[in-house]
Amino acid sequence: MGLFTFLGLAVTSSSEVIFGRVISNPMELLGQIGGVVPIITSFIGLTLATLTTNIAANVMAPANALVNLNPSLFSFRSGALLTAVLGIVFGPWQFIKSSESFISTWLVGYSALLGPLSGIILVDYHIIRKRHLDLDSLYTTEPTGMYWYTNGYNLIAIAALLLAVAPCIPGFLYTVGFLKKVPSILLAVYDNAWMFGFLAAGFMYWLMFLLFNFGQGQSSTAKAD
């Protein structure tokens, strides 16, 4: 991954020297280079890279998630096919039409979800549960399980997630053009969505757990580090 990052930075930086402007889109760069052999070779490489790396890596998680969600309805094959269809419906080409839209809209946008999730998971595991898990409760759907919470939902975690994501929404709507004006403080929050969400969700989850749920899940009969 480090080598790929270096190559991307080196090629993009070189484009400014050679063509007079920064070209971050590989397809546009190929058009500038020209030549039948380089273009054909590069297209074959991009196709293989997409099929063997991007599709394989990004299909595994949602396909398995659908199988876990409803094993009787989804198989890995049907989950992968549904993922492929949804991937087209979402119009991902809109996210990568420019480096600015890809970074500001897509990467920062979904980091507003990943940051809070990471904060909640780490606080729950390291601080609240002291790195101990009840293995039996992890694999049971019985209401007596330690992680059953409220009808199978950890409402405290959901509340912490929503509260941490909410301040990032105005900045996201401004970035995609739905809002014309947003306070600068909210734009700063959105620009640092992952770190803000991580800290805010982790702290609120810990605080609400102490206030409303203290003691639940602290002991276990089958512990594992």
Query: 8-44, pLDDT tens digit by residue?
Result: 788 888 888 888 888 877 778 877 877 788 778 878 8
Question: Alpha-carbon distance 68 to 149, whole Å?
Answer: 19
pLDDT computed for residue 31 by the predictor: 78
Query: 35-93, pLDDT tens digit by residue?
Result: 788 778 878 877 887 777 777 778 888 899 899 888 889 999 999 899 888 888 877 77
Pair 175, 105: CB distance under 8 Å:
yes
pLDDT over 60 at 216, yes or no = no
Low-confidence winner among 3-7, 146-150, 154-158, 165-169 (lowest mean pLDDT)? 3-7
pLDDT over 80 at 1, yes or no = no
Low-confidence winner among 65-74, 103-112, 174-183, 193-202 (lowest mean pLDDT)? 103-112
Q: pTM (2 decimals)? A: 0.66
Name the nearest CA neighbour of 198 among 105, 117, 126.
117
pLDDT computed for residue 156 by the predictor: 94
Question: Alpha-carbon distance 117 to 121, whole Å?
Answer: 6
Mean pLDDT of the chain, nearest integer:
84
Q: What percent of the chain has pLDDT over 90?
A: 36
The SS3 call for residue 217 is coil
pLDDT computed for residue 100 by the predictor: 67
pLDDT computed for residue 217 by the predictor: 47
pLDDT computed for residue 168 by the predictor: 95
| H helical segments located in the chain | 2-19, 26-33, 36-49, 55-69, 76-89, 99-100, 108-122, 135-138, 155-165, 169-175, 184-191, 193-212
Instruction: Say which residue, 148 or 122, is predicted with more confidence.
Output: 122
pLDDT computed for residue 96 by the predictor: 65
pLDDT computed for residue 99 by the predictor: 62
